[in-house]
Amino acid sequence: MQPDAVQQVLKQYWGFDAFLPLQREAIQSVLENRDSLVVMPTGGGKSLCYQAPALCREGVAVVVSPLLALMKDQVDGLVACGVPAAAVNSTHGSEEKRQVARQVESGELRLLYMSPERLVTPRTLDFLANQNVSFFAIDEAHCISAWGHDFRPEYRGLRTLRERFPNVAVHAYTATATDQVRRDIVTQLGLQEPEILVGDFHRSNLQYHVARRERGLGQLCEVIDRFRDQSGIVYCITRAEVDRTTTLLRELGYSALPYHAGMSDDERIRNQDAFLTERANTIVATIAFGMGIDKSNVRYVVHLGMPKSLENYQQESGRAGRDGVEAECRLLFSGRDLMTWKRMLGDLPEEARDAAFSSLEKMNAYATAVTCRHKMLVEHFGQSWTRGPCNACDVCVGSLAVVDDALVIGQKILSCVLRLEQRFGADYVSQVLVGSQDQRILAAGHNQLSTWGLLRDLRRQDVRQWIEQLGSQGFLRKEGEYNTVEVTDEGRRLLRGELMPTLLQPAKASRAATSRSVTDSWEGVDQGLFDALRQLRREIALQRTVPAYIVFGDATLREMARQRPSSLPALLEVRGVGQQKLADFGEQFIDGIVTYCSERQLSMDVAPLQPSAATPPRAAVAAPTANAVQSFPLFDQRLSVDQVAERMGRAASTVFGYLESYIRHRKVRDVSPWVNRAEFDLVESAIHDVGVERLRPIFDTLEGRVTYEQIRIVLASIKNSTGEPAVH
Ligand code: ADP
Ligand code: ZN
């Protein structure tokens, strides 16, 4: 079978023109009958890797899936695309099962879904041995590994496939990336010289934000309001928290439903269904919710408390934006969360408890860090980060501002820790610093300390946060059972003014709620039409009792609202519209579009946007980003741009941006290490002639003798001299 045939299948059934990364390679190994292990992040498009080639090969592909809900969802989705697929499971009667068996025998069924325990029964194995099985696809393959987060002993039985079907290839798919799990899957399934494909774990369409929980409900509503009428998940640590939050949200008029293991099965299924069919927008849940939820258009995932590990966080937050459309992941945490988890996990046997606590610490480090969130996540999963700022997290887009007098604040905090003889926790230290009259403080006489009230004018929340940040930068460490705060050797150097900390606080005006990539992807989209099409989708989904996103995904609706096709052939051009869906829903959607556009005299049949040439994200100009700040100590040492670029593993062009921030932020006037005297004078004389407003005239006047970057550096330094000629 030629790859072109797969391409054709992709277009005809799914309406896609191109493959996502690694899909082509993964499909190729299926076509070549070579065992494979495919590791891709959630939303990476794993299912298509076996679904598409199943249509290009003779016989039936057998797909193993751990959950009924997951199977049903996939089969519904395939049938909607016109693919002959079915599942057999315990909910089916014997007549239904016989019918499926007949479809397999006649060769008309292309994909057959079942649970591992059903597949390995002698009866099923005997039946399949007499059929033309094209290949086995093992979904959620990490379930076979005791090292995975979701071990299912029934997966172990799948080993038998290799022996019973020596000539049929076995393909495993998972989103769990650790090496140990990967190796385990290969051994347990007995894969032979498998092709191993590991995708990129960076999910660029997800916006990651972290904030302290201060007015939890308000912070939550702010997110939900921004995604009015769209789907989202809110995770809480405890059931009580789920119930409380749902009640509050409903009182405020939000369409929210709870989900946790303390509810009856019926109630849970009802709420989950309401969420999938979009009769409810928000599901508030414990981690009991999510496994097997394939809903592709979840637009936000808010954690109202800290998850217990980064693995959990990646998986739960990763349920947002599977369709590749932007989505937001927001973590709201408090120091108390750590205590709550420690209490809940405290009864584990010692070894497991140590492991759990160490995972918690890593999670806490993520929450309090001042480095790019995407970078931390990707690196946690063993991949290296070679990009610059991600432009999609609170740190990189600058919704955190760098505190000006970080050194002085840092010194005040550390000396207070010393005055308290390093015997208290971060909460207590912050209270002393802001001059709290708390009973405990008065009783201990700590209001008499010279450091009491030293940061009186600042918010306690900020001070508390800075203590964490000083910790994650190695100036402080927490010790012992009570997490008492101690000053490290580095911290002592900071006290002597030899080292500079970086402290961040929420920027005044949150100009970064949406990044550029978000606004870009809505370019040319008529929001009203998008809403109208979503309404239409919801009605169709209700009639057919399928989840809404099975009708069309968000990305497809958005494309429709941008191109506004007025005819069936034009609709077929939209990504995500295949032949079957065109036949089933085409007329209704064209009707909807034409009616909407004629009433408003909106143009139709607009050409699709060309993917814009990837412009590298630029560091924010107003406040330096945390990435830029990391270069400051290097510039303090007068290192050149190239040297800094090498040390930080960044492009020189990026580092020039950092240097500009550095000069502005540190009010540097002497830029001789980076611009030589002659060039400086040239720029200065050009400024005399053409002013400082725009770069282009300066550059042109100098006829290319000085680069744009150098001009920028000179300008920044001159501005620091408040209009005076620069001291040079
Ligand atoms: P995973 O199982 O890896 O989490 P899915 O198989 O659910 O991912 O796919 C995620 C989303 O990507 C789905 O909405 C799917 O329709 C979409 N998708 C898959 N392949 C392509 C493709 N080649 N082009 C566009 N969208 C795709
Ligand atoms: Zn980032």
DSSP 32-48: TT--EEEE--TTS-HHH
Q: What is the CA radius of gyration of the chain?
A: 29
Q: In this structure, which ligand is nearest to the CA of 7?
A: 1
Q: In this structure, which ligand is nearest to the CA of 395?
A: 2
Cα of 395 vs centre of ligand 1, distance in Å, is: 29
Q: Would you state the structure tokens that stand for residue 241, as one six-digit string?
A: 């928290």
Q: Would you state the structure tokens that stand for residue 73, as one six-digit string?
A: 């969802």
Q: Which atom of ligand 1 is nearest to the CA of 139?
A: 2
Residue 495 β-bridge partners: none
The pLDDT tens digits of the residues spanning 319-336 come to: 999 888 889 999 999 888
**Dist. CA 101–CA 109, nearest whole Å:** 9
Q: How far apart are the first and last CA of the chain?
A: 70
Contact 561, 526 (CB under 8 A): yes
Residues composing the chain: 728
Mark the ranges of the chain whose per-residue pLDDT is less than 50: 509-517, 519, 612-622, 723-728
Contact 461, 212 (CB under 8 A): yes
pLDDT at res. 350 = 83
Q: Whose CA is nearest to atom 14 of ligand 1?
A: 323
Contact 521, 324 (CB under 8 A): no
How many Cα atoms sit within 13 Å of 133 on the Cβ side?
24
Environment class of residue 523 by beta-carbon count within 10 Å: exposed (0-12), middle (13-18) or buried (19+)? exposed
pLDDT at res. 3 = 55
pLDDT at res. 509 = 46
pLDDT at res. 164 = 94
AA identity, residue 206: L
pLDDT at res. 710 = 85
Contact 710, 683 (CB under 8 A): yes
**Dist. CA 255–CA 251, nearest whole Å:** 10
Q: Best of 12, 70, 74, 322 to mutate for ligand 1, by most ligand atoms within 8 A of CB?
A: 322
Contact 403, 503 (CB under 8 A): yes
Unique residue bearing structure tokens 């968000």: 554
Cα of 298 vs centre of ligand 1, distance in Å, is: 14
Pocket of ligand 1 (CB under 6 A): 16, 18-20, 23, 40, 42-48, 294, 296, 322-324, 553
Cα of 455 vs centre of ligand 1, distance in Å, is: 51
Q: Which atom of ligand 1 is nearest to the CA of 46?
A: 3
Long-range contacts, 683-689 (Cβ 8 Å, 24+): 683/710, 683/711, 683/714, 683/715, 684/714, 684/718, 684/725, 684/726, 687/715, 687/718
Unique residue bearing structure tokens 């005239």: 697
- Within 8 A by CB and 6+ apart from 627, the residues are 371, 372, 388, 389, 395, 396, 619, 658
**Dist. CA 448–CA 468, nearest whole Å:** 25
How many Cα atoms sit within 13 Å of 363 on the Cβ side?
26
> CA triplet 458, 459, 462: central angle to 5 degrees?
105
Q: Return phi, psi of residue 346, to 5°.
A: -65, -25
Q: Which atom of ligand 1 is nearest to the CA of 44?
A: 3
> CA triplet 705, 707, 711: central angle to 5 degrees?
105
pLDDT at res. 690 = 78
Contact 497, 432 (CB under 8 A): no
Contact 542, 44 (CB under 8 A): no
The pLDDT tens digits of the residues spanning 481-516 come to: 788 999 999 999 999 988 888 888 776 544 444 444
Q: Whose CA is nearest to atom 20 of ligand 1?
A: 45
H helices, E strands: number in the chain: 34, 17
Q: Would you state the structure tokens that stand for residue 611, as one six-digit string?
A: 């993917």
Q: In this structure, which ligand is nearest to the CA of 325?
A: 1
**Dist. CA 603–CA 131, nearest whole Å:** 54
Q: In this structure, which ligand is nearest to the CA of 51?
A: 1
- Within 8 A by CB and 6+ apart from 593, the residues are 529, 533, 560, 564, 565, 566, 604
Sign of the torsion angle spanned by Cα atoms 598, 603, 605, 606: negative
Report all structural domains of the chain as residue ranges with CATH numbers, in order of start. 3-198 (3.40.50.300), 206-399 (3.40.50.300), 401-506 (1.10.10.10), 525-600 (1.10.150.80), 626-722 (1.10.10)
Residue 170 β-bridge partners: 136
DSSP state of 11: I
pLDDT at res. 567 = 93
**Dist. CA 197–CA 126, nearest whole Å:** 32
0.75 exceeded by pTM: no
Q: Whose CA is nearest to atom 13 of ligand 1?
A: 323
**Dist. CA 726–CA 728, nearest whole Å:** 6
For the beta sheet containing 327-333, the strands, ordered from the edge strand earlier in sequence to the opposite edge, are 206-212, 327-333, 298-303, 231-235, 282-285, 256-259
Q: Best of 48, 142, 323 to mutate for ligand 1, by most ligand atoms within 8 A of CB?
A: 48
**Dist. CA 379–CA 717, nearest whole Å:** 36
Q: In this structure, which ligand is nearest to the CA of 390?
A: 2
How many Cα atoms sit within 13 Å of 12 on the Cβ side?
11
pLDDT at res. 195 = 94
Q: Best of 6, 20, 70 to mutate for ligand 1, by most ligand atoms within 8 A of CB?
A: 20
DSSP state of 13: I
Written in H, E and C, the secondary structure of 455-522 is CCCCCHHHHHHHHHHHHHCCCEEEECCCCEEEECHHHHHHHCCCCCCCCEEECCCCCCCCCHHHHHHC
Q: Best of 27, 47, 294 to mutate for ligand 1, by most ligand atoms within 8 A of CB?
A: 47
Q: Return phi, psi of residue 402, to 5°.
A: -80, 135
Q: Whose CA is nearest to atom 10 of ligand 1?
A: 43
